[in-house]
A and B are shown apart, each in its own frame.
Chain A
């Protein structure tokens, strides 16, 4: 009933953008990084992608059916992206049930329990990632990562290696160029090849699917803070190198593909800048002082929680009104 009439306030602008178009555009933007991940970690990760995407789509269909919504909505690509992004932030050694449980949790609990596409508060893929972190701590928060295939140079002769952001122990020495291309960089499936991710991210910015302010202010804040915040004496040498921080971990994929999610981030430009800087601050704090090596997933989930409040506080002045904020409640 409520879906038959669409009532909204002016301005009414017709646009060629549709949900399907935007979603599949994001899938295209993610494709290079996904292809690189299969090169780096072998065909085993293809299984993670397939299980994750299939589970997300199947859960989407089931939820739509239970909620009495048109099943055609499952083709809008949103569940596909959720599954794909989830696979990209899992470790290459993640067993099949991690991607399965994660995808079901993302679509059923984080998205459909809140009302489906457009109503969710948290980014489904990242919330599922954090959920898996606590559900399967041994499988998810690794101290030892699978060794990727090299693009150039000789591979390290080890079975597993430490994360580039590990707080203890000597990580393999990685140059900025290695980090940029993901050459010999251990990490989550889709996060290591920064060049491919940047390519996709710039494509999305050029297509105006994402707002350039979020990646710029997110990465910029991490850069400035990791440069300025004092590192402890026992910290590894890279800890004070802002370029290393920007190029390692999940920052690039998070800043371009997850912090820019239209549903879970503020709608105004100022709000988005506040959101992005908050994310950057959290990443810097968690990497420098926290218990986890990486904080991108937490930072975005945490700031997603702030989104409704940010939207409320930075709402633009209503044309013709005098005060920029909503009128105060009369006592």
Chain B
């Protein structure tokens, strides 16, 4: 892995194929926890951490177990779900003990990371995405690439969460027509933000 490859992965995961605004994964927390910037940042950090752990663990699982014993088709999805769910439990236990305020603020959305399709998405994309072709790499290099991709996907998710929370904090004071207040205007915002992110198309 050289710096150029790592940079390509970063630009791709954060901007060009942003998990929320280009792939439209993880919209549930994106709409649900972006009323306030603090919560959005906390959720972003939690998802980033889980994405990193999930990429790391699922990549090892994929290479050392699933590929070796030819179980990819049969067991990839259930195994990944299991691994991610246990990781989220870990993060949740840690947060409840050390960051109770954030734990309270995130509410139901923390356990929902378990079923956050963005986390599952990065784990699955790490095993299938052709341009990155981790299959051709050594386990060490692939592990670095997969983990880095997880971190960058999480950072891209956090960026989208922060932008959305900034916009929504401003919209809280705006004279939005009653029919559009809350979630509807949030979805219109999402569409417009996604359009802005499309300017990066073709960069990587």
**Footprint of B on A, CB under 8 Å?**
2, 66-67, 109-110, 112-116, 119, 121-122, 127, 130-131, 134, 282, 285-286, 289-292, 295, 297-299, 301-302, 304-309, 312, 329, 331
Q: Which residue of A lies closest to B199 (CB)?
A: A298
**Footprint of A on B, CB under 8 Å?**
37-38, 99, 101, 162-163, 166-167, 169-171, 174-177, 180, 185, 188-189, 192-193, 195-203
Residues of A within 8 Å of B166, CB to CB, are: 305-309, 312
**Can you list 8 residue pairs at the A/B interface with Cβ under 8 Å?**
A113-B185, A114-B185, A130-B199, A295-B199, A298-B196, A298-B198, A307-B166, A331-B99
Q: A115-B176, A116-B175, A301-B196 are in contact. Are A292 and B167 (CB under 8 A)?
A: no
Question: A99 to chain B: closest CB distance in Å?
Answer: 18
A127 to B175, CA, bound (A): 20
Choose one: B101, B162, B176, B199; the contact of A299 (CB below 8 Å).
B199
Residues of B within 8 Å of A286, CB to CB, are: 199-200, 203
Q: A114-B185, A282-B199 are in contact. Are A308 and B167 (CB under 8 A)?
A: yes
The reply to whether B196 and A113 contact each other, CB–CB distance below 8 Å, is no
The reply to whether A112 and B193 contact each other, CB–CB distance below 8 Å, is no
Q: Which residue of B lies closest to A286 (CB)?
A: B199
A299 to B196, CA, bound (A): 8
Choose one: A298, A305, A331; the contact of B167 (CB below 8 Å).
A305
The reply to whether A302 and B174 contact each other, CB–CB distance below 8 Å, is no
The reply to whether B171 and A302 contact each other, CB–CB distance below 8 Å, is no
Q: A329-B38, A329-B101 are in contact. Are A113 and B180 (CB under 8 A)?
A: yes
Given A290-B201, A312-B166: 12 more A-B contacts, CB < 8 Å: A112-B177, A119-B174, A121-B189, A134-B195, A292-B201, A292-B202, A298-B196, A301-B195, A309-B166, A312-B37, A331-B99, A331-B101
A148 to B3, CA, bound (A): 46
Question: A279 to chain B: closest CB distance in Å?
Answer: 11
The reply to whether A115 and B175 contact each other, CB–CB distance below 8 Å, is yes
A127 to B176, CA, bound (A): 18
Q: A115-B176, A119-B176, A292-B202 are in contact. Are A302 and B197 (CB under 8 A)?
A: yes
Q: A114-B185, A121-B170, A309-B162 are in contact. Are A130 and B101 (CB under 8 A)?
A: no
A119 to B38, CA, bound (A): 23
Residues of B within 8 Å of A113, CB to CB, are: 176-177, 180, 185, 188
